[in-house]
Structure 1
C-alpha cells in the first residue's frame, strides 16, 4: 500500500508555484495514462489561471487549500478547502482566487 501526505505536497508545490514564472506547479500522485484513474495535485498562486481547456469524460476537483473559481462560460462555481466539484463535461478554466491547491481526479477511459 502506498501512502503520501497531500498536506506536505500542497506546501511543497505552493512553494514551487511561487518560484515558477508560470505561477503554478503540479505532480501526478496516482495513475498514468494507462490507468483507469489519474490524480494530479495542482498548485496555483493567487490570480493565476489554467486557461480554457476541454474537459475529460469524468473528472472531479477537490480543493485542498485556498479558494478557486471554475468557469464554463455558462456556469461559475467557487469553492474553498474541503469542497468537491464534479467537473462538467465542457470547456472550462480555473482561476486561483487565493494561493490554492487542488486534487484533480480524471477518468482516463483506459482499463488496462
Structure 2
C-alpha cells in the first residue's frame, strides 16, 4: 500500500513547471510499462500546452486545480478543479488557461 497526496505533489510539480522552459512537469504516480493502468500527475503553467497527440488507450483527465482546455478537432472542453474529462480517442491537445495540475489516467490498449 502506498499513499500519495496528489494536491501536495501537484503543487511541487507546478513549481518545477515554473522553472522549466516548456512550462510543464509530470510524475507517474501509478503504473508504467508493466501495467495496463498508468496515472500521471501533470502540471502546466498558464499558456503552456501538451502538443497534439494520440491517446494510447482509454483516458481521463481529473483537474486538481487551475483551468485547462482539452481540444480535439473543432471541439473544445474546459475544466476546472474537481472536473473530470473523458479524453477522446481522436488526436487532441491540452492547454493550461491558468497554472494547473491534473491527473491523467490511461488504460493502455494491448498491442
SS at 1:14's partner residue? helix
Give, in whole Å, the separation in 2 of the partners of 1:108 and 1:49: 22
Count of equivalent residues = 110
Q: Which runs of 4+ in 1 moved over 4 A?
A: none
Name 1:30's counterpart in structure 2.
30
Kept after mapping to 1: 8 A contact 2:67/2:99: yes
Gaps (5+ residues) in structure 1? Answer: none
Structure with the higher fraction of residues in strand conformation: 2
Name 1:12's counterpart in structure 2.
12
Let me know the Cα RMSD of the aligned residues.
0.9
TM-score, normalising length: structure 1: 0.95
State the 1:33 CA deviation.
1.2
State the 1:36 CA deviation.
1.5
1:74 aligns with 2:70: no
TM-score, normalising length: structure 2: 0.95
Gaps (5+ residues) in structure 2? Answer: none
- C-alpha distance after superposition, 1:59-98 (max 9, x if no partner): 0000011000000013110000000011110100100000
Give, in whole Å, the separation in 2 of the partners of 1:58 and 1:73: 18
